[in-house]
Amino acid sequence: MIGIIKLVAKRLGFGLVTLFIVSLIIFWAVEALPGNLAEQVLGQAATPETVEALSKEMGLDRPAFVRYIDWLSSALQGDFGSSLANKRSVSEQLEPRFFNTMFLAGLAAAMSIPISIILGVLAALWRDSIFDRGANVVTLTSISSPEFFLGYILILFLAVQNPIFPSISNVSEGMTLGERTFATMLPAITLTLVVIAHMMRMTRAAIIALLASPYIEMARLKGEPRWKIIVVHALPNALAPVINVVALNLAYLITGVVLVEIVFVYPGVGQLLVDSVQKRDFPVVQACCLIFAATYILLNLLADVGAILSNPRLRHPK
- Residue spans of the domains in the chain: they are 2-76, 95-315
The angle at the Cα of 195, spanning 304 to 212, to the nearest 5 degrees, equals 65
Q: Cα separations (Å) of 221 from 18, 198, 213, 217, 229?
A: 50, 32, 13, 6, 11
pLDDT value for 45: 66
Q: How far apart (Å, rounded) are the C-alpha atoms in residues 158 and 85?
A: 36
Q: How far apart (Å, rounded) are the C-alpha atoms in residues 213 and 233?
A: 10
Per-residue tens of pLDDT for the chain, all 318 residues: 666 677 778 878 888 888 889 889 988 887 776 666 666 666 666 777 777 777 777 676 777 788 888 888 888 888 888 887 777 888 888 889 989 998 998 899 899 888 888 888 888 888 888 988 888 888 888 878 888 888 899 999 999 998 899 888 888 888 888 999 999 999 999 988 888 887 888 888 888 877 777 887 888 778 888 778 777 777 777 777 777 777 778 777 877 788 888 999 899 898 888 888 877 788 888 888 888 888 888 888 877 777 677 666 666 655
Residue type, 29: A
**C-alpha closest to that of 297 among 255, 234, 241:** 255
Question: Which value, in Å, is the radius of gyration of the alpha carbons in the chain?
Answer: 24
Prediction pTM value: 0.82
Residues 6+ apart with CB under 8 A from 282: 30, 37, 41, 84, 276
| CATH architecture label of 95-315 | Orthogonal Bundle (1.10)
Q: How far apart (Å, rounded) are the C-alpha atoms in residues 46 and 9?
A: 51
pLDDT value for 37: 64
**DSSP state at residue 230:** I
Cβ(159)–Cβ(105) under 8 Å?
no
- The sign one gets for the Cα dihedral 25, 297, 313, 246 is negative
Q: Cα separations (Å) of 212 from 44, 173, 201, 208?
A: 69, 53, 18, 8
At residue 256, the 3 state secondary structure works out as coil
